[in-house]
Amino acid sequence: MLTLSILIPIAGALVLAISPKLAEAQARFAAIIVSAVPLLLLVIVWIGFDTSPSAPAFQSVAEAPWIPTLGVAWRVGVDGIALALSLMTALLFIAAVTWPADTMGRTRQYYAWFLFLEGVSLGLFLTLDLLIFYVFFDLSLVGMYFLIGRWGHGDAKAAALKFFVYTLAGSLAILLAIIALALSHDPLTFDMRTLIADQPLSAGAGASLVLLGFLLGFAIKTPLVPFHTWLPPAHVDAPGPASAILAGVLLKMGTYGIVRIPMSMMSETFARWALPIGILALVSILWGALVAFAQKNLKRRIAYTSVNHMGYTVLGIAAAGAFTAKGSTAARDLALTGAVTEMVAHGLITGSLFLIAGAFWQRAQSYDLDNYGGLARIAPKLTAATVLATFASFGLPALAGFVAEFQIFTGTFAVYPWLAALGLLGILITAALFLVMVQSLFFGDLPPQRAHFPDLRGPEIWVVSVLLFLVVLIGIWPAWLLDLIGAGTRALIEGG
């Protein structure tokens, strides 16, 4: 089932790429159908997923030998964390593919790359083999590189190049660390479950070095300050749907990677480094919010809030991984559940925000906040959707962001009170910066050149409605999500 949800979109991408006769509308329709298949499969997996405490951590496991001498195999399986993230990923890909886009006459290729990226992104969350994880990690760069470089605007090629090279440099550090970690296990294996159970690298300077390799790579991908400067240009010049995927899915690969590899497989070393990681996360929270506040460009502003939000996530992860600190198991569990909830919530919320930003570009080819105003007059649906998404983004209760951030803060406070207390300033600054943004886009006078600015229409309404419906649902009644995520975090925290 899991294997199919990786291979079907990739196969779909191949078929699209080699069927030159397909018309634009057909290609889009086919892409939507294919992109929806993984969600369907993952929902089936979810229905069969056992969240009771006695259930095994990884379920729906499938394994096929590949390079037995190296301990490499096609291994897939999910715990609560991976399943929650892959469900979000599958949904967000449907949204991105459905979103009407300007494909610049290369419709088939555009959708092929999206489907390819969907397959590799799901592969990253679903695989249980380190080497395959790495392969998918790198392939995701390739997919995104082409989406930005070919269908972006502005200085898209330079932005794509910077994104590619910067994150590739990070992934090389990860590759080294993966090799070192796998080699330290006897016999050699890339099986994540074995490495989690055996914790092969538990002490010494070597372990710290390997940990730092992982952290460097994942910190670039997440991104954490000061490794974040590839993010704003990549977002600004990317087409809206690609931005949504970049923020919603690709950034999560960094934080998911931290949870899945260093925190799970090297928990003692990770605990030693938890405080510096937490401080770096706090810096990202405050710096991201502060810099976002000064941005005049709609997409740059949202992009920097991603740095802020991923900071919350990493803060929660650091607190959860600090098991030598005096924090109780309950608090660390809360912090990690919050961090994973934040990944899901940020995917849905920032995904919507970037799609909306894409709508602005399609209509007016400008992200400059000063070029807008008074749009509430003529685009009430767009106004309502943006207001809801921004409120969710700065953590207003009854919306998804709050459920995540509240858990992160309360959980972290029991471990690192100062980091959590200072981090609270982040939700104040983001509130101010998003409200200023809403104000300058939608209120006041309508500039004459925007008099014919169209409101959200057709598929845009549907896509945004579904994403924001989930944001509200998670905000009001998150029990179903927290139950799923909790199954994963419980195994990690109490097992570790």
Partner 1 sequence: MLFLLAIAPALGAAITFASDMRTRFGLATVSSGTTGVTLAVAIVAAGFGWTGAIGWSDQLRLTAALTPMAATMAILVPLIALPVLLYAAGHESERGLKRLIVLLLLFVGGMELLVVAADLLTLLIGWEIVGACSWALIGHDWRDPDNPRGGLYAFVTTRFGDLGLFLAAMAAFAGAGSFAYADLAGLPSPMIEMVAFGILVSAAAKSGQVPFSPWLFRAMAGPTSVSALLHAATMVAAGAYVLIRLHPVLHQEPAFAPAAIGIGLVTALAGGLVAALQPHAKKLLAASTSAHYGLMFVAVGAGYPLVALLHLVAHAGFKALLFLAAGIAGEKAGTYELDRMGFGRALPSVAALSALGALTLGGVPPLAGAWTKEEIVAVAGHRGLWLAAGVMLAGGLSAAYAARFQLMAFGRREAAGGSGPGRLEYCGVGLLAGFSLLLSALWYPAIHDAVATAFGAEIPSSTLAELIASLALVALGLLAGASLARTAPALGKVGTGAALSDWLGLPSAIRLGITRPFSRLATSAAWFDDAVFDAVPRLVAATGKGIASHASLSDTFVVDRGVRLAAAFGVWLARLGDTVGEFVTDGLPRGTAGIVGFGGAEARQLQTGLTHQYYALLGGGAALLVVVLIIVA
Q: How many residues lie near partner 1 (CB under 8 A)?
A: 90
Q: How far is the CB of 364 from partner 1 (least distance, A)?
A: 20
Stretch that binds partner 1, among 28-36, 154-162, 237-245, 273-281 (CB under 8 A): 154-162
444 versus 459: smaller Cβ distance to partner 1:
444
Residues 75-114 that bind partner 1 (CB under 8 A): 112
Query: What is the Cα–Cα distance from 486 to 477, expressed in whole angstroms?
Result: 15
Question: For residues 442-461, which are near partner 1 according to CB under 8 A?
Answer: 442-445
Closest to partner 1 by CB, 149 vs 241, is: 149
Site for partner 1 contains 4 (CB under 8 A): no
Assess contact for 132 and 71: CB atoms under 8 A.
no
* Six-digit token string for 325: 């600190």
Q: How many CB atoms lie within 10 A of CB 171?
A: 22
- Interface residue with partner 1 among 425, 461, 466, 473 (CB under 8 A) is 425
CA distances from 69 to 65, 110, 201, 317 (A): 10, 39, 21, 34
Kindly state whether residue 236 participates in binding partner 1, applying the rule CB under 8 A. no
From the list 1, 11, 14, 466, which residue makes contact with partner 1 (rule: CB under 8 A)? 14
Tokens of 259: 């949870």
CB of 48 to partner 1, least distance (A): 21
Query: Which among 363, 352, 428, 357 has a CA at the least distance from the CA of 388?
Result: 352
Binding residue for partner 1, selected from 50, 155, 370, 483, defined by CB under 8 A: 483
Residue 57: which of 366, 481, 485, 457 has the closest Cα?
Answer: 485
Is 360 or 409 the residue whose CB approaches partner 1 more closely?
A: 409
377 belongs to the binding site for partner 1 (CB under 8 A):
yes
C-alpha dihedral, 314 to 479 to 305 to 263, nearest 10°? 10
Interface residues for partner 1 in 249-308 (CB under 8 A)?
Answer: 287, 290-291, 293-295
Note the helical H segments in 238-266: 240-245, 251-258, 264-265
**Nearer to partner 1 (CB atom), residue 257 or residue 478:** 478
Question: Should residue 492 be labelled a site residue for partner 1 when binding is judged by CB under 8 A?
Answer: no
Q: How far is the CB of 78 from partner 1 (least distance, A)?
A: 19
Rounded Cα–Cα distance for residues 224 and 45 (Å): 33
Residue 134 in contact with partner 1, rule: CB under 8 A? yes
- The burial of 154, by beta-carbon neighbours within 10 Å (0-12 exposed, 13-18 middle, 19 or more buried), is given as middle
Q: Nearer to partner 1 by C-beta: 22 or 331? A: 331
Question: Which of these segments, 24-32, 76-84, 139-147, 254-262, binds partner 1 (CB under 8 A)?
Answer: 139-147
* Binding status of residue 124 toward partner 1 by CB under 8 A: no
User: Looking at beta carbons only, is 91 or 112 nearer to partner 1?
Assistant: 112
| Site for partner 1 contains 74 (CB under 8 A) | no
At position 123, the amino acid (one-letter code) is G
Contact between 472 and partner 1 per CB under 8 A: no
Residue 46 in contact with residue 488, Cβ under 8 Å? no
Q: Whose Cβ is closer to partner 1: residue 331's or residue 456's? A: 331
Residue among 407, 450, 456, 464 that touches partner 1 (CB under 8 A) = 407
CB of 35: closest distance to partner 1 in angstroms? 17
Task: Choose the stretch contacting partner 1; rule: CB under 8 A; options: 88-96, 211-219, 315-323, 369-377.
Answer: 369-377
The C-alpha atoms of residue 430 and residue 436 are separated, in whole angstroms, by 10
Question: Tokens representing 277?
Answer: 């990681």
Which is it for strands 59-67 and 72-78: parallel, antiparallel or unpaired? Answer: antiparallel
Looking from the CA of 242 toward its CB, the CA atoms found within 13 Å total 33
Q: Which is nearer to partner 1, 353 or 376 (CB)?
A: 376
**Amino acid identity for residue 118 in this structure:** E
Candidates 1, 7, 11, 138; binder of partner 1 (CB under 8 A) is 138
Residue reference for tokens 């925007």: 450
Contact 312, 285 (CB under 8 A): yes
Q: Which is nearer to partner 1, 229 or 449 (CB)?
A: 229
Is residue 396 involved in binding partner 1 (CB under 8 A)?
yes
Element of type H or E holding 205:
helix 204-221
Residue 435 interacting with partner 1 (CB under 8 A): yes
Is 328 a residue that touches partner 1 (CB under 8 A)? yes
48 near partner 1 (CB under 8 A) = no
Q: Which residue from 288, 311, 268 is spatially nearest to 420, judged by alpha carbons?
A: 311
Helix intervals (H) in 367-478: 380-393, 400-415, 417-442, 458-476
The reply to whether 179 sits near partner 1 by the rule CB under 8 A is yes
Q: Does 165 bind partner 1 (CB under 8 A)?
A: yes
- Binding partner 1 (rule: CB under 8 A), the pick from 4, 7, 11, 17 is 17
Rule CB under 8 A: choose which of 19, 202, 229, 324 binds partner 1.
229
Is residue 271 within 8 A of residue 203, CB to CB? The reply is no
Buried b (16+ CB within 10 A) or exposed e, 287-322: bbbebbbebebbbbbbbbbbbbbbbbbbbbbbbbbb
Residue number, 171 or 269, with CB nearest to partner 1: 171
